[in-house]
Structure 1
């Protein structure tokens, strides 16, 4: 009888629904990495004096995908996050706020350069994705 109670308890626990995974946007390490790549990309596109460290960016991209897979996300879930217009709009708005807070003026390439140099100097992840030409 005791064994039956243990077996029934195990079965009851195994039929409980698994907790849903949070949206990838809510996984801070992943969302922060995607944001940093997007900021570095905007800096290098808008500053003629700064270019990308492409191998580092590709490595970070690969690491983020691996982390997501290790957390149990499928390729389809990762692709949906990467391709989502809602997520792109959210990151654009977050990026605009970041640029504004850091003195970047949209039509002033040198303001992007100043931010890029600052990020490089402080050895941030954004800075690690950039280099002065």
Structure 2
């Protein structure tokens, strides 16, 4: 009985770990950003295409990670389907690509970045396929 009370008191005294808002979680943000960068490359380079099944698999892994971190399924779903969040990620991806020299209308730059990411086997490259 005393042991049960001590355990209960210990658990009650342990502070709950507060989750940052899902859109501020660094691991989730970074992996989603890489996916959006890959999409932008595939959309702007005619010799590179997305690997949709790999992308879906990575998205499922990311969902599982978020759930294990303690985010509720409805929070994860709302985040992933949010038009506002998608717009933010697309803008961030465009900024990242711009720092690498890619801007709309410059297919060669998008293709060069995509080929380099594929060669590095980064997450961006893993989500892409060269048609060369």
TM-score (normalizing by structure 2): 0.84
SS at match of 2:20: coil
Q: Equivalents in 1 of 2:34, 2:83: separation in Å?
A: 18
Task: Name whichever of 81-90 and 56-65 sits farther off.
Answer: 81-90
Corresponding residue of 1:121? 119
Corresponding residue of 2:19? 21
CA shift, 1:69, in A, is 1.1
Q: Equivalents in 2 of 1:37, 1:91: separation in Å?
A: 9
**Are the structure 2 counterparts of residues 82 and 122 from structure 1 closer, same or farther at C-alpha, using a change threshold of 3 Å?**
same
Q: Equivalents in 1 of 2:90, 2:50: separation in Å?
A: 19
Corresponding residue of 2:100? 102
SS at match of 1:131: strand
Gaps of 5+ in 1: none
State the aligned residue count: 130
**Are the structure 2 counterparts of residues 88 and 67 from structure 1 closer, same or farther at C-alpha, using a change threshold of 3 Å?**
same
- Which entry has the higher C-alpha Rg, 1 or 2? 1
> Are 2:37 and 2:94, in contact at CA under 8 Å, matched by a contact in 1?
no
Gaps of 5+ in 2: none
Corresponding residue of 2:36? 38
RMSD, aligned α-carbons: 2.3
Runs of 4 or more off by more than 4 Å in structure 1? Answer: none
